Amino acid sequence: MKMQTLVKVRRTSQILFFVIFVLLLINTEFTGGFDTSEQDISLPYPVAIFLEASPLVALSNALSSHTLYRNLIISLVIIIPTFFMGRFFCGWICPLGSLNHFFGSLKSERKRGKQRIESNKYKKWQMTKYYILIAVLVAALFGSQIAGIVDPISLTIRSFSLAILPTMNYALNAILNGLYGTDIAILRSAADGMQYVLKNSIMSIKVVHFQQAVFIGLIFVTLMVLNLRITRFWCRALCPLGALLGILSRWSIFGLEKKSLKCNDCNLCQLHCQGGDDPKLGLKWRKSECHLCFNCAPSCPDNEMKFKFFPKTHTTEEKPDFKRRKFVTSLAAGALAIPLLRSSTSLDAAPNKKLIRPPGSLAEKHFLERCIRCGECMKVCPNNALHPTFMEAGLEGIWSPHLVPQIGYCEPSCVLCGEVCPTGAIWEISQNEKMGTNADGQLVDEPIKLGTAFYDRGRCLPWAMAKPCIVCEEWCPTSPKAIYLQDAEVVDSAGEARIVQRPYVDPGRCIGCGACEYACPIQVEPAIQVSSIGESRAKNNQILLKK
Amino acid sequence: MGTDQKNMNRRAFLHTSARLGGVSVATLGMGFWLKNRSTRPQETIAATMKERLILPPDPNLPAMVIVNGGDPRKMVNQAVHELGGIKRFIDDSDVVVVKPNMAWDRTPEQAANTNPDAVAAVVALCLKGGASKVIVTDVSCHEPRRCYQRSGIADAANAAGAKVIFPEKHKFHEIAINGQVLTEWPVFEPFLDADKIINMPVAKHHNLTGVTLGMKNWFGALGGKRNQLHQKINESIVDLAELMKPTLTILDAYRILQRNGPTGGNIADVRLNNTIIAATDPVALDSYAANTFFDLNPIQVQFVKLAHERKVGNMYFEEIRQKVIEV
């Protein structure tokens, strides 16, 4: 195949994988159907497959949990070919790589002609990504999955799910609802039709909001803008997955061969280089940096370079040039980071009351071993109830999921978050397991508890304001209800005696779903709030003495 | 203005003057126009409810039919037949809204939502009766898509030919209710535009009102902060009953949620009761059901008493013409 054709195939592959990636992400949502009365709700597509295919996610999970969860074995589909071929994933598949590629190819005043050639030369700072890789892998050995914060797939899914797509949805909704709000009939029906079409394709069925979204979104935008200065800055300098694949391609049998050392210094190969790997004749081609985009070979006017199997390697630098001191420093950074982080937030001493983990979540120690903060669970939650943490789980646990009942509660029959979690931080549980029921719907076991609800009697209508309410009791989904009522005679401000029903929580029955908190009319600070205590996953965070 | 010229010529001077003058006048005009438009922003109430008439009672027909049997579809068909047939309620090319209770993410066996077969039967009847469109919808409490699916109603109603509509945010319109406690409130669009409305509640226990039956079901037509309604729940229920004017109420008492309502969740709370009641008098229906299925004295069911006093219907169900049949 001619090199020129290969570039087209590569471009097609990038577009194809990016489209699949975005479609899967958009479909990480329960959209409901009119043609099914299925009682177990699950998603029709393997929406987490890109994460499950990420070698970095798999490796760091293996290091921290000593196992390979569910579908993470799929990552071998990338790992093993990388042994032979090199970093094809970066140039052909990675959605973040493709985005960087696109933004890097935009015209930029700061990066044209000679400047661009200069900026595409291999730089020492490209080693940074290897040191990041070492640090996060060592952290994984110490039981912390901070690799997920910088894994490119996880980063992209998080940014898209929590910031980019919600932004797009908000904008489209604002436009369409604006049109729908007019008095002009034709605009109204056009907006209605458009809404229908978009909600069945690229739009989310509802406008969702996420805490932290603005920061997550700005980080992503910054990464994109950096491409205008240095092409694929993220991929070259920071990406630990790229670094991992670079190391894995150490013995690859596919690569660039320079036929002679004659070169007219036209620099066209350098001009279009994505990886900053010095394909130019006279320089050493750095295999571990190359994304296999194949831009260089066809641009050579003398046809002096070619990608092939078993290339002559006398002009190739086969491995990253690690510096011993930096190598040791990154080892130490990874090794010290986790003890330092945990010295400030001791998981055992004071569990955070607001750290209400999704149903099926493992105990915090194991949760942090696995959670990559990809945001899949938050994206899929039909109630927009899961949000990225800020400091609730400590700095180490930043952007991991927690339930914010004031915004949305946890539906007892819903297990979608566990279905999409690629790493088992939220273990995949069945509906019956969650509710403690058997196949016939009878309560046979303890349901999964997320926490326990507590009243703030100073804010509660029947407790403090002599008014009837009990919306919390109405919404309480357990049977028998965890919220029970007592008639009480109260005197209102006019001096009149009246009977109101006052609510109480039975902590033994409460599952901490947060429906009460969500439904409470005292919306700004509900009169009933769920705390994490009593959560099934944590032995050290309990109230009641149990058999 | 060219800086390379030493002196501005006349032509350029006139040109520049005209441009500056034009821009100044336009800005001035725009400023005053905007100033004159400035009023304190207020929520406008643009939407209104379509006028619907309560069907006058027919002395030759019962006002309430109670059907006992094992098949919800058959019971619904028989009940409507005994009330005078669907043609009595539906005119040709009517847009009909059928309002089941599908507020909760629950299965049919858990009886927190209306029976899907009963809803499907009503949809089929309406279409047979000449309706141009039958809409099935409810403003659910739980996530609507889960409720619609797990209740089995979306599937059954869709198969019967209904248009199933999810409550979407932009389709709620603030309307003047002018009730005793509800002055204005957002109502879901289909309820505003319908020619006929058929209420299809399910009989359930509820701690604040004792029971939830037909009139309480109208909470599901509203958007907004419904959790405030509980502070004056009986008045709210009656305000809505006056507003909605259903052509027909068909109560699903096939399964009854006896405890832990209105959400239930445990099949141990459910009793198989095998009854469907259809009535043109919503108050008589609620009164009868509260009395028969929940052993409550209608006088003590505040919203029933209040609705009677406000002449929404007759709580003394013994006084109205009724018929009990078996299928």
The full set of domains in chain B, from first to last, is: 64-326 (3.40.50.11440)
* Backbone torsion region of residue A451, taken as left when φ is above 0, otherwise alpha when ψ lies between -120 and 50, otherwise beta: left
- B40 in reach of chain A (CB within 8 A): no
Domain A452-531 has CATH 3.30.70: yes
Q: Are B64 and B285 in contact (CB under 8 A)?
A: yes
What is the reported pLDDT for B269? 93
* A489 interfacial to chain B (CB closer than 8 Å): no
What percent of chain B clears pLDDT 70, i.e. is strictly above it? 98
CATH annotation of A347-447: 3.30.70.20
Task: Give the residue from A279, A293, A289 showing the smallest Cα distance to A243.
Answer: A289
Q: For A315-319, A478-482, A534-538, B63-67, which range has the lowest pLDDT when averaged over its residues? A: A315-319
Residue A37 in contact with partner chain B when CB distance is under 8 A: yes
Between A and B, how many residue pairs show a Cβ–Cβ distance under 8 A? 129
User: Do A347-447 and A452-531 come out as alike in CATH topology?
Assistant: yes
- B274: pLDDT strictly greater than 80: yes
Q: Which residue has the higher pLDDT, A66 or A107?
A: A66
Number of CB atoms found within 10 A of residue A318's CB: 15
Show which of residues 107-126 on chain B sit within 8 Å of chain A, judged by CB atoms. 107, 109-110, 116
Q: Say if A178 is an interface residue toward chain B (CB within 8 Å).
A: no
Of A437, A474, A490, A520, which to mutate for an interface test with B (greatest number of B Cβ within 10 Å)? Answer: A474
Burial (Cβ within 10 Å: 0-12, 13-18, ≥19) of residue A190? middle
pLDDT in tens, A156-177: 999 999 999 999 999 999 999 9
Q: Please measure the distance between the N-terminal and C-terminal CA atoms of chain B and give it in whole angstroms.
A: 94
pLDDT at B111 over 80: yes
**Cβ atoms within 10 A of the Cβ of A206, count?**
18
The answer on pLDDT for B5 being more than 60 is no
Closest Cβ–Cβ partner in A177, A206, A479 for B264 = A479
Residue in chain B nearest A462 by alpha carbon: B231
Least confident of A9-13, A186-190, A301-305, B19-23: A301-305
Name the residue with higher pLDDT: A252 or A260.
A252
- Say if B38 is an interface residue toward chain A (CB within 8 Å): no
3-state helix, strand, coil in chain A (%, to 5): 45, 10, 45
* Res. B1: pLDDT tops 50: no
Substitution target in B143, B165, B229, B270 with the highest count of A β-carbons within 10 Å is B143
More confident residue, B182 or A441: B182
Tokens of A445: 């076991």
Query: Mean pLDDT throughout A75-96?
Result: 96
Mean pLDDT of chain A, nearest integer = 93
Q: How far apart are CA B239 and CA B306, in angstroms?
A: 10
B193 touches chain A (CB under 8 A): no
> Looking at the complex, does the CB of residue B168 fall below 8 Å from at least one CB of chain A?
yes
Among the partner residues B145, B171, B231, nearest to A468 by beta-carbon distance: B231
**B264 → chain A, closest CA residue:** A479
Cβ pair A401, A377 in contact under 8 A: yes
Please tell me which residue of chain A has the smallest CA distance to B173. A181
Strand, coil or helix: B158: helix
**pLDDT of A290 over the 70 cut:** yes
Q: Where are the alpha helices (DSSP H) in A128-164?
A: 128-141, 147-150, 152-159
CA distances to A331, A384, B137 from A43, in Å: 40, 17, 24
Question: pLDDT per residue over A503-529, tens digit each?
Answer: 999 999 999 999 999 999 999 999 999
Please calculate the CA angle A165-A383-A209 and round it to the nearest 5 degrees.
35
Tell me whether A109 touches chain B (CB under 8 Å). Answer: no
Judged by a CB distance cut-off of 8 A, whether residue A473 touches chain B is yes
Domain coordinates in residue numbering, chain A: 3-28+40-156+219-249, 347-447, 452-531
ipTM, 2 dp: 0.91
Which residues of B are less than 8 Å from A414 in CB distance? Answer: 105, 146
Q: Nearest CA of chain A to the CA of B155: how many Å? A: 5
Helices and strands in chain A, H and E counts: 25, 10
**Is B208 in the A-facing interface, judged by CB distances under 8 Å?**
yes
Task: Assess contact for A467 and B231: CB atoms under 8 A.
Answer: yes
Chain A closest-CA separation from residue B109 CA (Å): 9
CA distance B180 to chain A (A): 17
pLDDT: which is higher, A347 or A89: A89
Q: Which residues of B touch A475 (CB under 8 A)?
A: 141, 263
- Say yes or no to pLDDT of A547 above 70: no
For the stretch B206-227, pLDDT in tens is 999 999 999 999 999 999 999 9
Q: Which residues of A touch B227 (CB under 8 A)?
A: 469, 471, 519-521
Q: How many CB atoms lie within 10 A of CB A506?
A: 15
Q: What pLDDT does residue B142 have?
A: 95
**pLDDT of the residue at B304:** 96
CA distance A431 to chain B (A): 12
Q: Which residues in chain B are closer than 8 Å to A37, comparing Cβ atoms?
A: 116, 149-150, 152, 154-156
pLDDT category at A345 given cuts 50, 70, 90 is low
Calculate Rg over the CA atoms of chain B. Answer: 27
Chain B: residue whose CA lies nearest to A465: B231
CB contact under 8 A, B155 and A39: no
Give yes or no for A442 touching B (CB within 8 A): yes
pLDDT higher than 60, residue A73: yes
Inter-chain touch A501–B259, beta carbons under 8 Å? no
> Is B50 at the interface with chain A, CB within 8 A?
no
Strand partners, A256: A307
Is A520 at the interface with chain B, CB within 8 A? yes
Under a CB-based contact definition with an 8 Å cutoff, are residues B53 and B194 in contact? no
Write out chain A residues lying below 8 Å of B263, CB-based: 474-477, 479
Is residue A385's pLDDT more than 50? yes
* Residue among B114, B140, B142 with most chain A CBs within 10 A, to mutate: B142
Which residue out of A43, A188, A479, A520 would a mutagenesis test of the B interface target, given it has the greatest number of B Cβ atoms within 10 Å?
A479
In angstroms, the CA B253 to CA A65 distance is 53
Tens digit of pLDDT for each residue in A108-144?
A: 887 888 889 999 999 999 999 999 999 999 999 999 9
| In the predicted structure, residue B121 carries a pLDDT above the cut 70 | yes
CA nearest to B103 within chain A: A475
- Give, for B239, the enclosing helix (H) or strand (E): helix B233-244
Tell me: pLDDT of B4 over 60.
no
